[in-house]
């Protein structure tokens, strides 16, 4: 699959030209707080890395919510009624735990997602093993043993589903915090801090030697994406910024390529990072990164020829000061075709709320702080966000976690902001492509690539991934494409799974959700 990377640079020029044809003008949209009307809880809790959005009750249905509350409350499950309103279901665990990270994916390719949950270690005094759960009959069943993912107790942080070896099924990467000096080496499982499990088929896993190449890399959080366009994943790890790439050739192994990608930017500029979102800034088919840097200035990394990053923060309009940013999510909020950014402030007191960076399509962003996604000044700290169409109306909504991870006095609520699709965004068109398993059911939807040619001949590309990342990983299996004023049928839709399988549709009517895969 590495050979495919050679064709990326050649395709970039064509994509860049097509992306500039009949470009809609950049415009913002506004939001309405519908948290209470949607049935979300009002209890103030502490948070650890944001909400998880995934189709849990129906893998080809509406998005449900997993709401982890660190160690202040149980992890809540809210089922979507199909219209963006929710009812509380069974808690993920039947007891209070120190929950740090969650990940959702279909490990055994049965069409029903699994949830991996990592727990903290009480500052090294009580490490805990990960758990794997599956929603069956309205309750979460523990399937850790049958998935062969039982590992030694660790100071768990960020679990991730990703197809490391390109065989179609999801392997598992578990990012853990470093061991305390008096903790010793875990008994059983891998003897490295970071752990990678190879999926050997039917959702059964084996731990890979040396942590699959991650070893004892001192990181806590991860974003999974594809930077070089070869169909294999890159792991962007932080707070101490690192990039690892899958080697391919059927191996479940990753190698450090940090300096090749980010050496010219400088690791001091990129560390410590608190959240990272993947997006295609210019519509040229390349994956760029927005790095939320906490109290330091944020960084926009533009991808050059699928080989390296340059710091485009200044030229894009990202300010050198702007507060303490701990969360970020990417998505086309105004349906003009270009992915915008929703940045979450961590400041206290909350003098300013979340920031919407509106992508102008020319590599620059404009800021909006009058978009209506606001909360009360005493609602804890901003934590993180996920952008997803929760009610199926063609606009990406924002699910936001508020609350400090440690201080009860700064606990906060969960918020849902409905996208009003108003202003210049009113009347713009979209196409949503829901991706299931590959047609043979041998390919998981995690990491699948969706490409369309719209009615104006422009090409757009999206990857099935989490959209932004801190400790948890959502499963956003609906690729959302804003089409601007292009109302003619989409000429072609193509989905390519990591297994290599492809499915397509032609002459697709706009303003609807279609499904490819099973």
Domain that holds residue 373: 31-419
Do 214 and 207 meet the contact criterion of CB atoms below 8 Å apart?
A: no
Q: Where are the beta strands (DSSP E) in 202-260?
A: 204-207, 221-225, 234-238, 242-246, 254-256
**What CATH number has the domain bearing residue 480?**
2.60.40
Q: Is residue 10 part of a domain?
A: no
Same domain, 368 and 466: no
- The confidence score (pLDDT) of residue 113 equals 95
- The confidence score (pLDDT) of residue 190 equals 65
- The confidence score (pLDDT) of residue 28 equals 74
Domain end, chosen from 391, 419, 447, is at: 419
Same domain, 351 and 457: no
Alpha carbon separation from 299 to 209, 225, 271, 320, 344 (Å, rounded): 34, 17, 10, 9, 14
- Residue 124 pairs in a beta bridge with none
Q: Is residue 383 part of a domain?
A: yes
Q: Is residue 20 part of a domain?
A: no
Do 210 and 222 meet the contact criterion of CB atoms below 8 Å apart?
A: no
Q: What backbone torsions phi and psi does residue 423 show, to the nearest 5 degrees? A: 60, -145
Q: How many domains is the chain built from?
A: 2
Q: How far apart are CA 178 and CA 373, in angstroms?
A: 37
**What CATH number has the domain bearing residue 392?**
2.130.10.130
pLDDT band of residue 376 (cuts 50, 70, 90) is confident
- The confidence score (pLDDT) of residue 181 equals 54
Domain end, chosen from 419, 452, 483, is at: 419
- The confidence score (pLDDT) of residue 24 equals 37
Mean pLDDT of 27-34: 86
Same domain, 216 and 279: yes
pLDDT over 60 (residue 25): no
- The confidence score (pLDDT) of residue 435 equals 98
Q: Is residue 11 part of a domain?
A: no
Given the DSSP bridges, would you call strands 99-105 and 114-119 parallel, antiparallel or unpaired?
antiparallel
Domain end, chosen from 419, 447, 470, is at: 419
- The confidence score (pLDDT) of residue 183 equals 52
Mean pLDDT of 446-471: 95
Given the DSSP bridges, would you call strands 308-311 and 299-304 parallel, antiparallel or unpaired?
antiparallel
Same domain, 391 and 454: no
Q: Is residue 16 part of a domain?
A: no
Contacts of 492 (CB under 8 A, 6+ apart): 452, 453, 504, 505, 506
pLDDT band of residue 233 (cuts 50, 70, 90) is very high
pLDDT band of residue 347 (cuts 50, 70, 90) is confident
pLDDT band of residue 351 (cuts 50, 70, 90) is low
Same domain, 323 and 191: yes
Mean pLDDT of 37-54: 96
Helices and strands: H and E segment counts in the chain: 4, 35
Range in 154-163, 211-220, 341-350 the model is least confident about: 341-350
Same domain, 293 and 333: yes
Mean pLDDT of 472-487: 98
Q: Which two tokens stand for residue 210?
A: 């040396």
What do you get for the CA distance between the two ends of the chain, in Å? 24
Q: Is residue 26 part of a domain?
A: no
Range in 19-33, 78-92, 318-332, 352-366 the model is least confident about: 19-33
Mean pLDDT of 377-388: 92
- The confidence score (pLDDT) of residue 150 equals 84
Do 227 and 243 meet the contact criterion of CB atoms below 8 Å apart?
A: yes
pLDDT band of residue 27 (cuts 50, 70, 90) is very low
Collapsing DSSP states into helix, strand and coil, what is residue 169?
A: coil
- Residue keyed to tokens 């578990």: 174
Q: Is residue 23 part of a domain?
A: no
Same domain, 400 and 301: yes
Same domain, 87 and 151: yes
**pLDDT tens, 53-108?**
999 999 999 999 999 999 999 999 999 999 999 999 999 999 999 999 999 999 99
Same domain, 415 and 434: no
Same domain, 312 and 441: no
Do 115 and 143 meet the contact criterion of CB atoms below 8 Å apart?
A: no
Same domain, 480 and 395: no
pLDDT over 50 (residue 255): yes
pLDDT over 80 (residue 282): yes
Q: How far apart are CA 175 and CA 211, in angstroms?
A: 10
Measured torsion, CA atoms of residues 166, 167, 169, 173, in degrees rounded to the nearest 10: -40
Q: Is residue 14 part of a domain?
A: no
Same domain, 409 and 473: no
Most confident of 15-29, 215-229, 340-354: 215-229
Q: How far apart are CA 334 and CA 316, in angstroms?
A: 18
Q: Which two tokens stand for residue 25?
A: 């003008």
pLDDT band of residue 19 (cuts 50, 70, 90) is very low
Q: How far apart are CA 393 and CA 32, in angstroms?
A: 14
């Amino acid at each position: 699959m590495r050979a495919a990377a050679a064709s990326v640079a050649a395709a970039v020029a064509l994509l860049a030209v097509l992306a500039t044809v009949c470009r809609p003008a950049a415009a913002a949209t506004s939001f309405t707080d519908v948290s209470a009307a949607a049935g979300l809880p009002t209890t103030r809790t502490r948070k650890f890395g944001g909400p998880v959005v995934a189709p849990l009750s129906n893998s080809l249905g509406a998005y449900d919510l997993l709401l982890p509350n660190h160690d202040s409350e149980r992890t809540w499950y809210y089922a979507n009624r199909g219209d963006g309103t929710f009812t509380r279901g069974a808690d993920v665990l039947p007891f209070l735990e120190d929950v740090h990270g969650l990940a959702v994916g279909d490990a055994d390719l049965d069409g029903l997602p699994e949830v991996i949950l990592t727990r903290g270690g009480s500052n090294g005094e009580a490490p805990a093993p990960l758990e794997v759960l599956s929603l069956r009959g309205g309750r979460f069943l523990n399937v850790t043993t049958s998935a062969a993912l039982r590992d030694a107790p660790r100071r768990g942080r960020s679990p991730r589903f990703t197809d490391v070896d390109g065989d179609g099924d999801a392997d598992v990467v578990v990012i853990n915090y470093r061991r305390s000096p008096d903790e010793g080496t875990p008994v059983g499982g891998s003897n490295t801090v970071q752990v990678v499990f190879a999926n050997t088929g039917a959702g059964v896993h084996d731990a890979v030697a040396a942590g699959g190449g991650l070893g004892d890399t001192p990181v806590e959080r991860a974003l999974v994406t594809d930077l070089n366009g070869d169909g294999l994943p890159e792991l962007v790890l932080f707070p101490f910024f690192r990039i690892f790439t899958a080697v391919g050739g059927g191996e479940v192994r990753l190698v450090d390529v940090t300096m090749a990608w980010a050496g010219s930017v400088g690791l001091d500029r990129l560390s410590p990072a608190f959240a990272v979102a993947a997006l295609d800034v210019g519509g040229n088919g390349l994956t760029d990164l927005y790095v939320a840097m906490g109290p330091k200035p944020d960084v926009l990394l533009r991808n050059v020829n699928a080989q390296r990053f340059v710091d485009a923060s200044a030229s894009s309009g990202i300010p050198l000061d702007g507060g303490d940013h701990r969360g970020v999510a990417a998505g086309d909020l105004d349906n003009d075709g270009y992915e915008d950014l929703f940045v979450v402030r961590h400041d206290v007191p909350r003098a300013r709320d979340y920031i919407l960076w509106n992508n102008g399509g020319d590599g620059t962003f404009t800021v909006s702080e009058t978009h209506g996604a606001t909360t009360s000044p005493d609602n804890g700290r901003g934590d993180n966000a996920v952008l997803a169409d929760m009610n199926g109306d063609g606009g990406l909504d924002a699910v936001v976690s508020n609350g400090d991870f440690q201080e009860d006095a700064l606990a906060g609520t969960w918020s849902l902001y409905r996208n009003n699709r108003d202003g210049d965004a009113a009347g713009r068109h979209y196409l949503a492509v829901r991706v299931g398993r590959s047609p043979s059911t041998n390919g998981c939807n995690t990491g699948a690539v969706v490409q369309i040619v719209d009615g104006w001949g422009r090409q757009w590309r999206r990857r099935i991934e989490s959209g932004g990342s801190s400790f948890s990983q959502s499963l956003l299996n609906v690729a959302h494409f804003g089409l601007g004023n292009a109302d003619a049928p989409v000429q072609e839709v193509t989905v390519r799974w990591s297994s290599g399988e492809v499915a397509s549709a032609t002459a697709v009517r706009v303003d609807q959700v279609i499904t490819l895969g099973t």
